Amino acid sequence: MWGWFSNLIGGSRSSEPKIPDGFEEELLRKLNQRFTEGMVNSQDYRCIPYTGKITHLNDRVAVIDKQYYFHVQNTSMACLKVGDTVSCEVFFNDVETLVKKVRIVEKPDTEIDGAGRIPHEIIRRNDLYQIKGTIVKKILRDITVESEDDQFPSITFNMDSVVAEFMPQSGDVVVLNCTLLENPGKADPDVVVEEIRPENTLTESGIVTGWNSVTGNINHCAHFSIQSCEPGYQPSKGDKVLASLIRSNVEHFCWRAIQVIPQNRASDFHAMKATEKARKELMNDKGGVEVGTVPSLQLVMGKKISVFVDVANNSSQPQQVVSCVTSSNVTSSQIQLVSPEKWPVTVKPLARKTFEFKINAQFLGRSSELFIWSFENFQIARQFEFDVVDPELASNQRVPTRGKYDGKRNEVTASKLLEQASGVIIPGRRSFSPAAFVPVKLGQFALSEKVLTAALPEDKLSLNDLMINVSEVLPSLKEDLSRGTYADRMHSLLYLEEVAMLKQVGELQMEVSFRKIGDCLVLDVPALSPYTTKLVAGDMLIASPVDSSGTGAQNKYEGIIHKVTSTQLWLQFAEDFHEFFTGSSRFNVSFVTSRASLRRMHQAINLATKHLGMPWLFPSSIHSREPQIIVEDEIPGEAKESRIPASKSGQIPEKLLQLMKNLPKGSTPEAMKQLADEWEKSKGEIKVEKTVRAEQLVYGPDPRKLSVQGPSSDLSIQKRLQTPVAARTFESEKWQGHRGKGPRGRGRGRMNWNRYGSGYGVHCTLDSESNVNIQGQQVKKIKWFNQGLNDQQKDAVRNVLVGEARPLPYILFGPPGTGKTVTVVETILQLYSLIPQSRLLVATPSNSAADLITERIISCTNMKQKDLLRMVGYHYLEQGRINASIVPYSAVPDVKAIHIYGASGSSHEGVKMCGRELLGHHRITVGTLGCLGLLYNMGFPRGHFTHVIVDEAGQATEPEVLIPMVFLHKQFGQVVLAGDPLQLGPVVTSRLAARCGLQESLLARLLSRYPYAKDSSSFPDSWGYDPRLVTKLVFNYRSLPKILRLPSMLFYDNDLISNVCEETSEEALVLRAIGNKIPCSSNGSAPPILFHGVRGNNEQEADSHSWFNPQEMVQVVMYLVTLYSQGITSDQIGVITPYQLQSNKIRFMLERMGVEAPKVGSVEEFQGQERMVIIVSVVRSNPEEITYDMQRSLGFVANARRLNVALSRARAMLIIVGNPHLLSLDMHWRSVLRFCVNNGGYVGCDLPTDSTPVQFKDESILQLHENFKPTKERKEKI
């Protein structure tokens, strides 16, 4: 076999006849393909030595003899140039051709072409050889292991071609699984490392015994770094952690922690008990001295009162008071000691001394300050407790109904749900008629009765017991997620999610009556109740009439929810139900959610495991492939010439010719001439409108604020032709209702649809595959649509275009304010522009994100309507929320329309319903993950799309993200996942499913595994990530450095770099405009970040599940009034609070005061947004309710991702209003509180003891706070 291959490519090229340009490249490509196909059935791997010339070279890739490419960065050659003769080893397997060990060779006197050399065969053994050793050196990706094997004492290899499940570091004790290459020319075989794994692994609990802000150790025997810690966790000595350990020999440590997860702090419980004991001891009178008690006080905001405390000496000896100081933070103390003024103070025997305190009520809510009288030999303390109210502001809020929500929740069990589903249910009327025939049907993936019974037992169980109960029915939940358990475990998680959804809506059972309005029956429900927050259009209601005895009748009726408002559900039942309905009729109702989205996710799991395969789902190594294209930046001087093709020999430019072809049929020559004249007048460079000020350019322009336009000719022409183009796209006489062959063009031939009726189910498949051919290694000059992109964003686009690691997903890691969306849009436009054969599927978790992507694409280029499709669902269309600018590009998929080219149904709001023939011919298709699932039913073939781009991928569950992946082309396909795994994650209803991993997105899972995980030692120039797989954007264009430092420290390894000037930026000017009107101001400028402590009360109203905090609400309004008085407008401010009732109360209070309200909403409503000033109201102030929140990941507490979003929305100023005593119980909030205190940004109530320690003489008490460093002012005061 090697002989015929050598003959085919061998021989002297000087004797060959002259062949046309490009023929040789195509011949070599086919020969290489033939050779590879001949190796498919072979189980052995073979390699050949090869010598040839460098025929192409750029800064990333070199090509040998126009057929074998390699990456320059993987070689040690510094001065490689075109024409050099090199030697290498070419490895062949059933998929790839890899070039390794490239070296420059001296040119002989008589040059011999590399193709003429006779290859020497090397046989690779199939059995694996294990070698144990220790990593002694790691330089970038090259690892050297000193082994215990005498035959191979030292082994050096590159990690790219090695399978691994962890990120190796120097000192790790490892096991290498190797293959031996028998080489007849050598005495000993060559070693090829196939896999590396730790020798020993262990999971143990321990105590952090050392930490220096970067590295630390656990129990003095295991070392770890900040990169091993859970995001948001800042370790402290004494913390109790759960660590995943591997054997390592570094200094005196014998283990390395590769993952560290905090548990309850070891010191918390004991420290709290010790502090409380010491506090009680301090409160006791001693040495014959009695200190008077201080009553609890209620004070009016802004008022000052005096409080007198007597110190009586009942002993026979005089007592000297050395000092009397508060243990609270002196910068925010509301109590001042007025007299005595001279120290020390002597209290004579059997006498008393009066101490006068003045209380200045500055901060709303409860406060507690401890004052300590220090005598010569002992200390006595007294607690000042007071509650500050503002009756004037409080009068502007409606008096709430006190107490918790009294709505009863129905207990939901499996037996009750099964009973509801029994009997005959008469179907309701949908907003659109279902398809009578579906080309490809989804499997049912029915929830079994066993799973339902196990997850919803008759007896109430704890979460742990319920987990054991369910694991018996779904055994895959007992095992970790792996290649072997993937499909079963993912299906099981979806079943648990379905049970939780059934339980959630099952709790909404009630007895009701309806009101008739038009064609609908309306059900009135409480505001802010689960009826309006959990149900959506398309969900169903089951109603059964109630007879006089109160028992349900036999017949049941299904009502389809058509619209959900704040207090109403609009439904339609069967026609006979509407006929006999009367206003006095009573019904028992229960609710059912749609299963369509769950079925699509089940289907995606099966298709992904079959067509994408486990190497894609669980990548463990990188096999670099030939570039899709070889990217070269356009030379600035060439930009103008290359943007508009020059006319040659009187020929019409191609772009102008295309526009002429798009003119309506029957256009006159005068119209064509006018078009040509307009083209000539408007030729020019792309104009970039910069909205940044000149003085900020030193920090780089913000690419998010740059609007890009194409040549003005295109704009004016497109404006003239926009309506006719829309008509041709969806209303053309040629396309309307036409059956048969569709419109043809480049890449738009007749598609090979999946066969009709092919069931997916368990044995699902996508039988047909599109024929897409992307010629690799094409050299393309890139012209940037957005001229404001920074180098990092441009690198991300280039990496996607090159696609070295495909089909592995490429991850665009975009922290807040770093321009992720503009980078995604630029990537889409470059793929569209530089790879003409590409077809792009752009998916998002939400309609708002899909609309944003579509709008950005339209604004950046004059995209033809036949090339761009915004695919929308019918229910979203009915809501009327589609922006007018994207309506011409939008269409609703019509599953039942087959062989119809053009619109298949009437328009709604200008949007047509279209069949698959029209939808399948767009170059770019944008839609939500759920809506794109309809492509299954429409029979789209596998491989129809060459690129799948998922924006905000961190907000979707893994099964959701897999929905569009199965349409990927197997050979040329590439996936781009864009998002931030540290911001809002997927919404998961089931606590069991979340606990088992459904809440972890595919984006987050990949970034936690090798080869995607951060490895700073191997990739120091790309922020620790392999640029072939990940780009992490770090340049922030949103926040001032002092604001950015907090989320960067907590969540992003201190990588984020602010691009906002602290002196001349608009944000800095805003702080100076606010001036000293805000507490903790300095040098005439407000603080960038401020924590205002308020110990208020969280309350409910009788008709609402939600919560509000009146003290925090009033404090927020006070800040708003102050900001407005300094010229800050409402559209520059945002108020974030996790509870809807708090939002409503703030808006209502502002309305009563006649003050304009800014945007007030939840974290989810502010995701992806920014404001000049952000005010965060945490609301929660009750430890019992916090426990409930922490168990369900509600609010801010115990939900680091929500906290990250809240902290990263502000541009100039961040104000946090919350209870520090409660929030300090959470590790993330404790870090926030310490950051604010240490940077002089705290004001308000007294701080918890671990933030501001009590200054005791007792050594036991001082030991509790040994790590606290008091400020200079505090030292001077004490």
Span 786-798, pLDDT tens digits: 888 999 999 999 9
The C-alpha atoms of residue 5 and residue 67 are separated, in whole angstroms, by 14
Residue with the larger pLDDT of the pair 140 and 830: 830
pLDDT above 70: residue 764: no
pLDDT above 70: residue 396: no
- For 1231-1244, what is the mean pLDDT? 89
Quick one: pLDDT band at residue 689, thresholds 50, 70, 90?
A: very low
Edge to edge, the sheet with strand 1210-1218 lists 1159-1161, 1133-1136, 1171-1177, 1210-1218, 1089-1093, 1242-1244
- For 12-30, what is the mean pLDDT? 43
Q: Domain 2-123: which CATH class?
A: mainly beta
The C-alpha atoms of residue 700 and residue 690 are separated, in whole angstroms, by 11
Q: Which three-class secondary structure state does DSSP give residue 997?
A: coil
pLDDT above 50: residue 669: yes
Architecture of the 1041-1247 domain? 3-Layer(aba) Sandwich (3.40)
Ramachandran angles phi, psi of 136, nearest 5°: -105, -15
CB under 8 Å to 848, separation ≥6 — which residues?
A: none
pLDDT of residue 109: 41
- For 570-575, what is the mean pLDDT? 86
> Radius of gyration over alpha carbons of the chain, in Å?
35
What percent of the chain stands above pLDDT 70?
A: 73
- For 607-614, what is the mean pLDDT? 87
Tell me: the pLDDT tens digits for 528-568? 667 777 777 778 888 888 865 544 456 788 888 888 887 88
Quick one: pLDDT band at residue 1081, thresholds 50, 70, 90?
A: confident
Q: What are the helix (H) ranges across 519-668?
A: 530-533, 575-580, 596-607, 614-617, 639-643, 654-661
Architecture of the 203-263 domain? Beta Barrel (2.40)
The answer to whether domain 129-198 has CATH 2.40.50.140 is: yes
Residue 205 belongs to what H/E stretch? strand 201-211
pLDDT of residue 477: 92
pLDDT of residue 45: 56
Tell me: the pLDDT tens digits for 1098-1124? 888 766 677 889 989 999 999 999 999
pLDDT of residue 1196: 67
The C-alpha atoms of residue 428 and residue 540 are separated, in whole angstroms, by 9
pLDDT of residue 568: 86
Token pair, residue 73, equals: 């960065």
Q: Look at 302-316, 317-331, 905-919, 1147-1161 and tell me which has the smallest mean pLDDT.
A: 905-919
Quick one: pLDDT band at residue 340, thresholds 50, 70, 90?
A: very high
CB 209 within 8 A of CB 218: yes
Q: What are the helix (H) ranges across 1126-1173?
A: 1140-1153, 1163-1166
CB 324 within 8 A of CB 372: yes
What percent of the chain stands above pLDDT 90?
A: 28
Q: Among 366, 274, 329, 384, which residue's Cα sits nearest to residue 1234? A: 329
Number of helical H runs and strand E runs in the chain = 37, 56
Question: Domain spans of the chain?
Answer: 2-123, 129-198, 203-263, 284-394, 414-594, 602-631+730-1036, 1041-1247
Tell me: the pLDDT tens digits for 225-261? 888 888 878 888 888 889 999 999 888 888 999 889 8
pLDDT of residue 934: 85
Ramachandran angles phi, psi of 157, nearest 5°: -150, 165
3-state percent helix, strand, coil for the chain, nearest multiple of 5: 30, 25, 40
Residue 450 belongs to what H/E stretch? helix 449-455
pLDDT of residue 917: 73
pLDDT of residue 321: 94
Cα dihedral: 698, 700, 705, 706 (round 10):
100
- For 128-134, what is the mean pLDDT? 87
Q: Of 532-536, 555-559, 909-913, 938-942, give the range with the top mean pLDDT.
A: 555-559
pLDDT of residue 83: 82
pLDDT of residue 756: 44
Two domains, one topology: 2-123 and 203-263: yes
- For 605-615, what is the mean pLDDT? 88
Q: What is the mean pLDDT of the chain?
A: 77
pLDDT of residue 1189: 56
Quick one: pLDDT band at residue 634, thresholds 50, 70, 90?
A: low
Tell me: the pLDDT tens digits for 160-195? 878 888 889 999 999 998 888 777 667 777 888 888
Q: Look at 159-163, 1056-1060, 1183-1187 and tell me which has the smallest mean pLDDT.
A: 1183-1187
* CATH number of 284-394, picked from 2.40.30.10, 3.40.1190.20, 3.40.640.10, 2.60.40.10: 2.60.40.10
CATH number of 414-594: 2.40.30.170
pLDDT of residue 749: 47
pLDDT of residue 734: 33
- For 882-891, what is the mean pLDDT? 85
Per-residue CA distances from 424 to 456, 554, 555, 839, 964 (Å): 24, 8, 6, 47, 37
For residue 1043, count CB atoms less than 10 angstroms from its CB and return exposed for 0-12, middle for 13-18, buried for 19 or more.
Answer: buried
Return the CATH fold of 602-631+730-1036.
Answer: Rossmann fold (3.40.50)
CB 689 within 8 A of CB 1024: no
The two most distant CA atoms of the chain are separated, in Å, by 123
Tell me: the pLDDT tens digits for 469-497? 999 999 999 998 998 899 999 999 999 99
- For 78-107, what is the mean pLDDT? 76
- For 1068-1083, what is the mean pLDDT? 88
pLDDT above 90: residue 368: no
pLDDT above 60: residue 107: no
Q: Of 682-686, 691-695, 768-772, 817-821, give the range with the top mean pLDDT.
A: 817-821
Tell me: the pLDDT tens digits for 1188-1198? 555 554 556 66
pLDDT above 80: residue 527: no
Token pair, residue 954, equals: 């961190």
- For 655-681, what is the mean pLDDT? 57
pLDDT above 70: residue 201: yes
